[in-house]
A and B are shown apart, each in its own frame.
Chain A
Amino acid sequence: MLAREAADFYWMGRYVERTEHTARLLHHQLAGLVDTPADELALGWQVLYRTLGQSVPETSTDADEAEAFLIADAYTLAGTLVEDRTVPDSMISCWRAARANASQLRPQLPLRVWTCLNRGYLWIRDCDFPGAWKVGPAELVSRGIDRLRLLAGVVDAVMPRDDAWRFLELGRFVERFQHQTALLDAWDRVGRAPERRPALSWADLLRVCGAYELYCRRFTMTVRRDEVLDLMIRDPEVPRSLRFALHRIENLLVGIDPLGNRHPLAPPHRTALRLAAVLEADAVGPSRPRGREGREPGLFERLARDGRALHDRVMAAYVDYPVAEGLPT
């Protein structure tokens, strides 16, 4: 397929995944408006923004102020993340970006996939956010998530497993890997700050990642940080674990460019292998998630850095390669 189209599929995958990521976190926050203590909610917003790589709006963890902050600001923050077109990570912006990529892929994209994506976009574009807020803020986001799942289902059902699909999935899992890394890092950072009382619940992290039930089955209902991190980093069966995403990335890369065929062990493959080794080797004990004295990079920093490198190498190998390298021999 055309290099530009490969890039469009890849970005479409990334944006769809990003929309879902934002939506999941937002859903958790909004569902929690009912019963979560106000100060914990404030922490939640911080995690949310940190994961999106944005500065955290000034909030107070003082219980009284936080109570006032609760509804009014939650409305503003949620509104920003749902329907503000000027915020690049808002659901509507990501959805629109995914649609813009898809609109350049019409010849390659099954009509059902396009229609599903387009209708989802028209839905969020035309949704009445203030009205939806009155009914139940989490409901709107939840419906958005349903639409994204429908899209994933349609993609799964109708797309042939060719390079188009591979680049789409590659984008999704690279995005997932980067986002989950950022989420675990932010949760750990915000939640573990010793002066913070109360801390964020690790059980909530599992819920956001859809892994709570599995955790309880495998461990106990007493949720412990180390076990949560171990599960979310290394478990091969949890769809939002880093290992799971990386495993998919490796398989997709082999499908796109069978090892040893075009470039023996092309740079993206190598980066993925290195990441796998990092995941394997680095224990996440309570003492080691961060670098010592800030000199040696900690696990999350290394994962974040290599995750970005993975993206760059995918682009360099399949999209922006020098002309001379691409000439038929």
Chain B
Amino acid sequence: MITRHAVEHTLDFRYGAPVHSSVMTFFVQPLQDRRQVLIDFAIETEPRGPVFSFEGPFKSKGHFLDRPAPHDRLVVRARSTVETHARRNVPTSLGSDGWDRLRRGIRDPGLWLMLQPSRFARPSPTLGRFMRNHGLEPGEDPLASALELSAALHRVFEYTPGSTAADSPIESILETGRGVCQDYAHVMASIMRIWGVPCRYVSGYLGPDAAGVAPAASHAWVECWFPDLGWTGLDPTNDSGDDERHIRVAVGRDYADVPPTRGVFQGPAESVLTPEVTVARREE
């Protein structure tokens, strides 16, 4: 079954006083690949002006803009129509010699890269303690271990909006037990990489469920790589796989590679960002 989403992602920057200029990059354009179809995409800004697109490090499409004239507000509105598939039938284990087949299968720099520690997803003494305290160890099978880890994180952490910031290190969620989806994903990626499973960070949206009860939002989860299966989505925040609600925008080693927005402005002002995401869903 195919689900069609109409996504509108608005970033509304308000400055306390007019700023001289601002420069920004965005990762807000959904991916187009075998698992997801991007029907259309448009980005518009206020004040108006050109927006440039570029290819990011992991096939993600980024955008860039600069506004050199004084302004006290900058609004970026990205609209896209995306088709997602219902969840594939993912097995719960790889079967015999899972670890061996996994190790042998990693022969590509793109996979090796997702085994390396990165700025937000890296080992640390705190992480080591956390893993020992919760008995987090790889099991007989890589895929089963990943599913167990996702379940464990979901159980151990308490999802608490506002408890961490965009640039919080994983120590914050590890020590307080509270965090948001980005923190869940960073912890999951750090541990999977330690265990030798290539794991990447996914930035995206979570559409409403079929009943239209759960609200839409920006979201983050991970994808682990397994032989035969390839990149497989795992959402530790919801302890689920990725299904038709998960709209993938960009992948990277962690948040730092693909932030929805990163910018600087010149001028003596404070800036307040109000992001807003709406997703309208239609089954086909």
Contact = CB atoms under 8 A, between A and B. Distances in A.
Note whether A and B form a binding pair: yes
Interface of A: 322-324, 327
Nearest to B66: A323
Interface in B6-62: 20-21
Contacts of B70: 322, 324
Contacts of B69: 322-324
A323 B21 CA distance: 8
Given A322-B69, A324-B70, A327-B68, 8 more contacts: A322-B20, A322-B70, A323-B20, A323-B21, A323-B68, A323-B69, A324-B68, A324-B69
Give the size category of B's interface with A. Answer: under 10
Interface string B60-81: 0000000011100000000000
Contacts of B68: 323-324, 327
Nearest to A324: B69
Nearest to B70: A322
A327 B69 CA distance: 10
Contacts of B21: 323
A323 B69 CA distance: 7
Contacts of A322: 20, 69-70
Interface of B: 20-21, 68-70
6 contacts: A322-B20, A322-B69, A323-B20, A323-B68, A324-B69, A324-B70
A211 B138 CA distance: 93
Contacts of A323: 20-21, 68-69
A323 B23 CA distance: 13
A324 B20 CA distance: 9
A327 B20 CA distance: 14
B165 to A, nearest CB: 30
A3 B21 CA distance: 17
Contacts of A324: 68-70
A324 B69 CA distance: 5
A323 B70 CA distance: 9
Contacts of A327: 68
Contacts of B20: 322-323
A324 B49 CA distance: 13
Nearest to A326: B68
Nearest to B69: A324
A324 to B, nearest CB: 4
A252 to B, nearest CB: 28
A322 B68 CA distance: 8
A39 to B, nearest CB: 50
A329 to B, nearest CB: 13
A324 B70 CA distance: 8
B38 to A, nearest CB: 34
B18 to A, nearest CB: 10
A243 to B, nearest CB: 38
B70 to A, nearest CB: 7
Nearest to A327: B68
Nearest to A323: B68
A218 B70 CA distance: 56
A327 B49 CA distance: 15
A52 to B, nearest CB: 31
A197 B68 CA distance: 62
A38 B70 CA distance: 59
Give 8 nearest A-B pairs by CB, closest first.
A323-B68, A324-B69, A324-B68, A323-B21, A323-B20, A322-B20, A322-B70, A327-B68
A322 B19 CA distance: 11
Nearest to B68: A323
A327 B68 CA distance: 9
B233 to A, nearest CB: 43
A322 to B, nearest CB: 6
A323 B68 CA distance: 6
A228 B72 CA distance: 54
A327 B66 CA distance: 13
B267 to A, nearest CB: 11
A145 B281 CA distance: 82
B20 to A, nearest CB: 6
A23 to B, nearest CB: 38
A167 to B, nearest CB: 23
B184 to A, nearest CB: 41
A316 to B, nearest CB: 13
B17 to A, nearest CB: 14
A321 to B, nearest CB: 10
A192 B37 CA distance: 88
Output the residue of A322, A323, A327 with the most chain B CB within 10 A: A323
A190 B255 CA distance: 69
B139 to A, nearest CB: 58
